[in-house]
Amino acid sequence: MPDVVWIWLAAFIIFLILEVLTPSMLFIGFSISALVCGIFAYFYPESYYWQIGMFVVVSAILLPMTRKMAKKLPKNLHSQ
C-alpha cells in the first residue's frame, strides 16, 4: 500500500478523534473527506494535486451539510 494512503488514513483518524472530543460536528466532514481521499490515493497514489483538490471539494460540500445537521440536534445530546 502506498505511503500516501497511510497519511490520509492517519488524517481520517485524527479528524475522527477531534470530532469525538468536540460536540460541534465540525470535523466529521474533514474526516469523511480524508477517508475518500485515502481510497482515491489507493488507486492513484501519484496524483497528489487531485487528492488535495478532492479533499477541499468534498470538505466544502460536507461542511455546510453537517452544520445543518448539527443545528437540528438537541442541545443536550452531547452533555449526557
Helices (H), 1-80: 3-21, 28-43, 48-72
Which tens digits make up the pLDDT trace of 32-58?
999 999 999 999 989 899 999 999 999
CB count in 10 Å sphere of residue 55: 19
Say if residue 27's pLDDT is above 80.
Answer: yes
- Segment 20-36 shows an average pLDDT of 90
Say if residue 75's pLDDT is above 80.
Answer: no
d(CA 27, CA 30): 5
**Ramachandran bin of 73, using left for φ above 0, alpha for ψ from -120 to 50, beta for the remaining angles:** beta
DSSP category for residue 40: H
